[in-house]
Amino acid sequence: VRFPEDLEDDNTTFNPEYSHQVFGDDEVAFGYKGLKILLYYIAGNLSTLFRIEYTSKVNEKFDCVEADDVESKIREIIPPGFCTNTDDFVSLLEKEVNFKPFGMLLHTYSVHEEAGEDIMYQIYKADMTCPGFREYHERLQTFLMWFIETASFIDVDDERWNYFLVFEKYNKDGATLFATVGYMTVYNYYVYPDKTRPRVSQMLILPPFQGEGHGAQLLETVHRYYMSSPTVLDITAEDPSENYVKLRDFVLVKLCQDLICFSPGKLMQGFSQEMVTEAQQKLKINKQHTRRVYEILRLRATDMGDAEQSRSFRLDVKRRLIGPYKKKQRELAKMRRCLRPEELTNQLNQIDLNMQHEQLEESFQQLVSDYRRVLERLAQA
């Protein structure tokens, strides 16, 4: 909500992707007709208005059943201090002009809108020492429950957390205001003897801003922030989603494409230790991610219409993909030594070679399809 009229505007409304973390696996609230759970957030500081509406509700006295306590379920995830009536909320909205982003400004960029104007965005790094940030973060993290499938709230008293925030700058009655766009949390793990390994824990761009490139801007800014630190070994992510992996592929390829070790001539010679070393030292990218970057850039440098080049690329990628299958073969060799014949037959059925070749080809084709999408996006960037 930026203006009072946004409260009645369906265009500014978005629905949760998930509700199982609040309402159970069936995502059902029992005992209501026409139930609406309404959560409004002021665009900048995320002050919250919470209301429940329904046309009718079962009654324990007459229906002998009790309706779910929807309110207490929501109260478990939104911090106390929220509004329950619209007038209080609108009076808070008037003070929004005083809200400023937390922490240190890292990056400013603009996005060209269809209406023809450029909208400015800024990325900040914050921590719990910033006045008011702890309370703001409590409100911000409530979005995780609705948009990340396995979300959990983090221990903000642990000083190893870093917070990166994206804000939109907008004008209201001649003043410059800020709207929350999304954020990322990163945990700094210790690596013996004197390094840290930042690990991306949670990343969310709010639905009204998705598909505009903010995730890529945020991830690249975070990489650039850590790249300048001599104590950072490399950057990784905790249990990344499919969408995050695609985003990371794009950002890392964009960062790596100008490194000398990824020149077309060197790409055609195969994956090298030089690539691993340069990507880690200059861009804080680990070996596994560097290998994906190499494969994407090698695909770009390969003429897939040329039988020899195409075959060389396919074999190179499949040699990496076959790793898990070779591991199964080694496990099978161990089984031969210690299992009875009937047990071994059972295991052999699970490791059918023809099926392995089919799965390998399927994995390769899927990978090439994903890589092409990255390259298409790169060409448009």
Q: Which pLDDT score, from 0 to 100, does residue 32 have?
A: 93
pLDDT tens sequence across 273-295: 999 999 999 999 999 999 999 99
| Mean pLDDT score across all residues of the chain | 91
Least Cα distance to 29 among 50, 54, 49 occurs for 54
Q: Which pLDDT score, from 0 to 100, does residue 353 have?
A: 63
pLDDT tens sequence across 68-89: 999 999 999 999 999 999 999 9
pLDDT tens sequence across 302-358: 999 999 999 999 999 999 998 766 666 666 667 667 766 666 565 555 556 666 788
Of 27, 66, 113, 238, the catalytic one is 238
Q: How many CB atoms lie within 10 A of CB 53?
A: 10
Asked about 149 being catalytic, the answer comes back as: no
CB 51 within 8 Å of CB 101: no
Higher pLDDT, 324 or 250: 250
pLDDT tens sequence across 151-173: 889 999 999 999 999 999 999 98
Given pLDDT bands bounded at 50, 70 and 90, which one contains residue 381? confident
φ, ψ of residue 334 to 5 degrees: the values are: -65, -40
Q: Which pLDDT score, from 0 to 100, does residue 225 have?
A: 97
Estimate to the nearest angstrom the gap between the alpha carbon of 326 and the chain centroid. Answer: 32
DSSP string, 221-273: HHHHHHHT-TTB--BEESS--HHHHHHHHHHHHHHHTTSGGGSHHHHTT---H
What mean pLDDT is predicted for residues 122-139? 96
Provide, for the chain, the percentages of residues in helix, strand and coil under a 3-state DSSP scheme, each rounded to the nearest 5: 50, 20, 30
DSSP string, 322-354: THHHHHHHHHHHHHHHHS-HHHHHHHHHHS-HH
CB 233 within 8 Å of CB 197: yes
Q: Which residues contact 359 (CB under 8 A, 6 or more apart)?
A: none
**In DSSP terms, which residues pair with 37 in a beta bridge?**
52
**In DSSP terms, which residues pair with 235 in a beta bridge?**
285
Cα separation, 211 vs 215, whole angstroms:
8
Cα–Cα distance list, 30 to 63, 65, 113, 282, 336 (Å): 13, 10, 42, 55, 55
Given pLDDT bands bounded at 50, 70 and 90, which one contains residue 112? confident
Residue 124 has pLDDT above 90, yes or no: yes
Q: Which pLDDT score, from 0 to 100, does residue 64 have?
A: 79
Q: Which pLDDT score, from 0 to 100, does residue 159 have?
A: 94
Q: Among residues of the chain, what percentage have pLDDT more than 70? A: 91
Cis peptide before 193 (omega within 30 of 0): yes
Using the 8-state DSSP alphabet, how is residue 79 labeled? P
pLDDT tens sequence across 176-225: 999 999 999 999 999 999 999 999 999 999 999 999 999 999 999 999 99
Q: Which pLDDT score, from 0 to 100, does residue 116 have?
A: 76
